[in-house]
Amino acid sequence: MRQRDQGIRLEPLLEAISGFLDDQRDVIERVRRDLVRGLKQPDSGRHGLTATQVLRSLVLMRLKNWDYRELRERIADGLTLRQFTDFYCAPVPKSTTPSSVASSV
């Protein structure tokens, strides 16, 4: 599991969910297709959120019952949540970005 490779331990529930999501390549591919649907040139321009980041962020938001603002703040402030959601060292988008992305999924 990715978190163990980095020496970071997630809480047991997040660890179980992370392992489950790691095995769900078909779900991640469906999210990716939803994200690029309607884009004229999805392979050009600025790189946005990945399907994995969107899926893991939405799972975390629902699990913790957070709104988008709190989700963004918690991911930005927490190393384990950054790793769970695949943001690692990347900047976490504004709290309005996930809500607009989530509407396409």
Neighbouring CB atoms inside 10 A of 71's CB total 22
Mean pLDDT across 74-99: 86
Where on the phi/psi map is residue 36: left (φ > 0), alpha (ψ -120 to 50), or beta? alpha
For 44-57, the pLDDT digits (tens) are 767 788 999 999 99
Say if CB 66 and CB 14 are below 8 A apart: no
Cβ neighbors of 93 (< 8 A, separation 6 or more) are 49, 72
Q: Answer yes or no: pTM beyond 0.85.
A: no
Contact between residue 84 and residue 90 where contact means Cβ atoms under 8 Å apart: no
